[in-house]
C-alpha cells in the first residue's frame, strides 16, 4: 500500500488471509429412505463465531456404501436396508448426518396355521403364528367368525374377547393366541383372519386370507329357563306352510342347543304342527302353537285365512341345477320331485305304456302329478294336481320334436277319463315338420270338449314354448287362451280359438268355435263338461299316435315347467 503527500511517498505491505472453517453442520441431522429412494442433505461451513462461510469446498462420503451412497452435492440414495453415516468435510472440518434405509414395502404376510386351540360352551380359543406387515413390523389382524360355513365377505368381525378386531401384533414369528367370546353352545363355527397394516376402513393394506379353522362349542349342561317361539305371530292361507322356530336359553340368557323340543297346536282342526315346528293351515281360524322343552314353554299364534287367487304353485326354473330335458319315449321313466305351496309333494315324470299306467293320451306322456296326502285330505289319497282354489291359472312348458317319422291321428283311449279336466298336447307329424294340438277334458268322461290345433308346421329339432291361460268366467263358461312361441320368444301365429266338441244327436262329436276362447258347459247322455275350478286342475302332456301307436323323439324340457294361478304373464 502507498501513501503520497507534497511529492513525497510512503509504502507498507498488508497481507489478507481467509477466515478458517471452524465447523460444518449437516442438515437434516437424520433421515430415512426406502431402497431406491433419495434424500437431499446440505452442509454449512461456519467460522469460529458461528457465521456461515460461503464459497468453501465441501466433500461428501458414506460410512457404508452398501447401504447408502452420496454424490458430490449431498444427494443420498438408499441401496439396501440398514444404517449409514453421511459425512461432509470442508478445510479439515467435518459434520455428519444419520441415514436409515428400509426395504421397499410389500403386502403383509399370510397366516397359514390358524387353529382352534380350545373350546368352552360359549368361547373358542384360536392360535396362529404372527406375520409381518410388509414394512418389517408386526402385522395387525382382522378376525371373523360364522356359524356353519364361513364366507369372508358376509362373515361378522369378532367383537367380544381378545380376538376382537383389530388385534394388534406383538412380534413377527411369535405364537399368538386369543379368545372369541359370546358364542352359542353346541354350535359348529368357522374362523378366518387376514393380516394388515394401516387403519381398517381408511388406508389398510391387506395380506392374503388365512386358512379356515373350525371348532364346535361344547354343549351347555344348564337347564332350560325360557323358550321363545318365533315369529311370535304369523298369517297363512289355507294349505300354506309356516315354519316356527324355538330358541332355548338358560337363566343367564345363553342360547342352548341339542335339547328336545315338542310342538303342539291348540286347534288341530285349524292348523297342525309337526315335530320340527312346521305349521300347515287347514281351515280359516286361529291356533296357538306351543313349543315345550324341559318343562318350559313358549307360544306363538297363527291365523289361517282363505286362499286368495294368484301366485305360482309349481315351477321348475330353467336355471334349476341338475335338471335338463328328456325324451318322453326314453324306454323307461324319469322323475323329479318338487312341493306345492300346500305342502303336498309333486312328481314330474314320464310315463311309458303299460296296462297299469294311465296317462293323458294313453301313451308316453309327461305328467305333473301331486302325490301322497294333502293337508286337509285323508292320508294316502292321491289327488291329481289339486291347485289352490283360484279362478285363473297359467301353464307353461317347452318341447322339441326330433322324430322324422310320420305319426297318425290322435286316438283317445279309455284311460283318459281317469284324468278328468286335464289339458295335454299331442304331436302329429310329417317326415320334416310337426304340429301341436291341445285338448281340454271335463267331468271324468272320455272325450275332450275342446281342441286347440296349430295348423302351422313346426320345425323338427327346434325348441318351442307352449303356454295357456285358463280363466273361469262363471258356473258354465271357461276361457282358454293358448299360445306358442319360438326359441326367440316370438309368438307363432295369431291367438287361436279353442273349438268346443258338442255331443250331437247321432252320438258323434261336432266342433263349434266359441267367441273369446270361451268353452261352455253341457251335458248329454254319456258325455258332459262342467266348469268348476275346484276340479279343473289336472295337467298333463300326452304323446301318442293312431290307435295308441307310440310317437318317438318328442322331448319335454322339464326344467321349464311352470304352473301358476295368476294373470297371463305374456311372452
**Strands 335-339 vs 345-351: parallel, antiparallel or unpaired:** antiparallel
The CATH code that applies to domain 226-305 is 2.60.40.1080
The CATH code that applies to domain 115-217 is 2.60.40.10
The CATH code that applies to domain 312-564 is 2.60.120.200
Options 2.60.40.1080, 2.60.120.10, 3.40.109.10, 3.40.50.920; which CATH number does 23-102 get? 2.60.40.1080
| CATH 2.60.40.10 residue ranges for the chain | 115-217
Per-residue pLDDT of the chain (571 residues; tens, 9 = 90+): 777 888 788 787 766 567 899 999 999 999 999 888 899 999 999 999 999 999 999 999 999 999 999 999 999 999 998 999 999 999 999 999 999 998 888 899 999 999 999 999 899 999 999 999 998 899 999 999 999 999 999 999 999 999 999 999 999 999 999 999 999 888 999 999 999 999 999 999 999 999 999 999 998 889 999 999 999 999 987 666 789 999 999 998 888 888 999 999 999 888 889 999 988 777 789 999 999 999 999 999 999 887 554 444 444 433 333 333 333 333 333 333 333 333 334 444 433 333 233 333 333 334 444 333 333 333 323 333 333 444 555 666 666 665 555 444 333 332 333 333 444 445 555 555 665 555 554 444 444 555 555 556 777 767 777 776 666 666 566 666 667 777 777 887 655 544 555 444 434 444 444 444 555 555 554 555 555 444 444 444 433 333 333 334 444 444 344 444 444 343 3
Q: Please give the grid coordinates belonging to residue 227.
A: 323358550
3-state SS class at 554: strand
Burial category of 459 from C-beta neighbours within 10 Å (exposed 0-12, middle 13-18, buried 19 and up): middle
Please give the model's pTM, rounded to 2 decimal places.
0.40
Burial category of 566 from C-beta neighbours within 10 Å (exposed 0-12, middle 13-18, buried 19 and up): middle
- Minimal CA–CA distance to 466: which of 533, 563, 341? 563
Amino acid at each position: 500500500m502507498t501513501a503520497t503527500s507534497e511529492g513525497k511517498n510512503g509504502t507498507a505491505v498488508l497481507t489478507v488471509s481467509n477466515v478458517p472453517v471452524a465447523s460444518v453442520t449437516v442438515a437434516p441431522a437424520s433421515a430415512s429412505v426406502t431402497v431406491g429412494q433419495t434424500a437431499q442433505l446440505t452442509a454449512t461451513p461456519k467460522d469460529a463465531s458461528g457465521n456461515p462461510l460461503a464459497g468453501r469446498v465441501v466433500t461428501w462420503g458414506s460410512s457404508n456404501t452398501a447401504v447408502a451412497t452420496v454424490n458430490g452435492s449431498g444427494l443420498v440414495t438408499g441401496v439396501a436396508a440398514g444404517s449409514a453415516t453421511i459425512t461432509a468435510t470442508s478445510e479439515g472440518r467435518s459434520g455428519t448426518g444419520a441415514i436409515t434405509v428400509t426395504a421397499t414395502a410389500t403386502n403383509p404376510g399370510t397366516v397359514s396355521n390358524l387353529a382352534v386351540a380350545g373350546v368352552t360352551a360359549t368361547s373358542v380359543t384360536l392360535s396362529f403364528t404372527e406375520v409381518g406387515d410388509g414394512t418389517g413390523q408386526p402385522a395387525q389382524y382382522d378376525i371373523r367368525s360364522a356359524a356353519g360355513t364361513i364366507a369372508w365377505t358376509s362373515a361378522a368381525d369378532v367383537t367380544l374377547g381378545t380376538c376382537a378386531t383389530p388385534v394388534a401384533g406383538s412380534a413377527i414369528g411369535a405364537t399368538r393366541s386369543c379368545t372369541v367370546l359370546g358364542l352359542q353352545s353346541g354350535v359348529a363355527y368357522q374362523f378366518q383372519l387376514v393380516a394388515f397394516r394401516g387403519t381398517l376402513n381408511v388406508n389398510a393394506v391387506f395380506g392374503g386370507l388365512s386358512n379356515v379353522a373350525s371348532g364346535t362349542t361344547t354343549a351347555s349342561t344348564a337347564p332350560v329357563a325360557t323358550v321363545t317361539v318365533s315369529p311370535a305371530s304369523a298369517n297363512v292361507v289355507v294349505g300354506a306352510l309356516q315354519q316356527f322356530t324355538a330358541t332355548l336359553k338358560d337363566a343367564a340368557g345363553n342360547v342352548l342347543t341339542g335339547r328336545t323340543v315338542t310342538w303342539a297346536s291348540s286347534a288341530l282342526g285349524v292348523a297342525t304342527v309337526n315335530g320340527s315346528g312346521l305349521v300347515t293351515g287347514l281351515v280359516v281360524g286361529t291356533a296357538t302353537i306351543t313349543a315345550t322343552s324341559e318343562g318350559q314353554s313358549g307360544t306363538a299364534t297363527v291365523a289361517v285365512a282363505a286362499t286368495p287367487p294368484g301366485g305360482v304353485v309349481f315351477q321348475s326354473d330353467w336355471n334349476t341345477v341338475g335338471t335338463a330335458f328328456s325324451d318322453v319315449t326314453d324306454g323307461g321313466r324319469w322323475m323329479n320331485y318338487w312341493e306345492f305351496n300346500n305342502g303336498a309333494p309333486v312328481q314330474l315324470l314320464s310315463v311309458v305304456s303299460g296296462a297299469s299306467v294311465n296317462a293323458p293320451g294313453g301313451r308316453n306322456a309327461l305328467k305333473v302329478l301331486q302325490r301322497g296326502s294333502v293337508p286337509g285330505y285323508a292320508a294316502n289319497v292321491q289327488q291329481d294336481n289339486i291347485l289352490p282354489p283360484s279362478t285363473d291359472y297359467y301353464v307353461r312348458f317347452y318341447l322339441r320334436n326330433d322324430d322324422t317319422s310320420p305319426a297318425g291321428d290322435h286316438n283317445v283311449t279309455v284311460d283318459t277319463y281317469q284324468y278328468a279336466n286335464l289339458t295335454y298336447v299331442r304331436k302329429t307329424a310329417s317326415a320334416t315338420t310337426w304340429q301341436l294340438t291341445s285338448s281340454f277334458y271335463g267331468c271324468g268322461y272320455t272325450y275332450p270338449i275342446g281342441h286347440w290345433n296349430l295348423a302351422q308346421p313346426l320345425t323338427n329339432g327346434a325348441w318351442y314354448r307352449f303356454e295357456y291361460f285358463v280363466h273361469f268366467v262363471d258356473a258354465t263358461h271357461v276361457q282358454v287362451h293358448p299360445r306358442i312361441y319360438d326359441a326367440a320368444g316370438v309368438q307363432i301365429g295369431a291367438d287361436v280359438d279353442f273349438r268346443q266338441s258338442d255331443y250331437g244327436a247321432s252320438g258323434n262329436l261336432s266342433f263349434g268355435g266359441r267367441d273369446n276362447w270361451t268353452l261352455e258347459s253341457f251335458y248329454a247322455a254319456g258325455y258332459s263338461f262342467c266348469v268348476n275350478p275346484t276340479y279343473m286342475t289336472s295337467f298333463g302332456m300326452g304323446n301318442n299316435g293312431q290307435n295308441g301307436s307310440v310317437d318317438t323323439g318328442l322331448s319335454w324340457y322339464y326344467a321349464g315347467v311352470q304352473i301358476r294361478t295368476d294373470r297371463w304373464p305374456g311372452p
